[in-house]
């Protein structure tokens, strides 16, 4: 898989609202900015089942998605 191919997949960011519906936190527990880079209409908690934040193609906006799907992840490092 080339690097360019990696960009054709949705990517997990680590943000989620598993603890409190609608309140998204990063995996370290810090809050996701309420006026962040959400796609228009998201987070929509579609069918009441979307609790994990992804970068969907073309990777410029956030979307809440069903957790547990196999996808690449991005990490923050110092
Ligand atoms: Ca949710
Ligand atoms: Ca969604």
CA–centroid distance, residue 78 to ligand 1 (Å): 29
Closest ligand (CA of 48)? 1
Q: What's the gap between Cα 62 and its chain centre? A: 6
Ligand 2: distance of its center to the CA of 39 in Å? 8
Question: What single DSSP character describes residue 22?
Answer: T
**In this prediction, what percent of the chain has a pLDDT beyond 70?**
90
Question: How far apart are the two ends of the chain, measured CA to CA in Å?
Answer: 27
Does position 8 have pLDDT exceeding 50, yes or no? yes
Instruction: Please state the rounded mean pLDDT for residues 48-76.
Output: 90
Please tell me the distance between residue 40's alpha carbon and the centre of ligand 2 in angstroms. Answer: 10
| Number of residues written out for the chain | 78
User: Any bridge partners for residue 15, and if so which?
Assistant: none
pLDDT band at 1; cut points 50, 70, 90: very low
Q: 65 C-alpha to center of ligand 1: Å?
A: 8
65: confidence class by pLDDT, cuts 50, 70, 90: very high
Average pLDDT, the chain: 88
SS3 at position 56: strand
Q: Is the pLDDT of residue 6 over 60?
A: no
């Amino acid at each position: 898989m080339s690097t360019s191919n990696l960009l054709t997949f949705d990517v997990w960011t680590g943000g989620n609202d598993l603890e409190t519906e609608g309140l998204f936190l990063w995996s370290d527990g810090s809050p996701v900015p309420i006026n962040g880079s959400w796609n228009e209409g998201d987070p929509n908690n579609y069918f009441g089942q979307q609790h994990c934040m992804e970068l969907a193609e073309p990777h410029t906006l956030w979307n809440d998605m069903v957790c547990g799907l196999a996808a690449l992840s991005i990490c923050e490092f110092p």
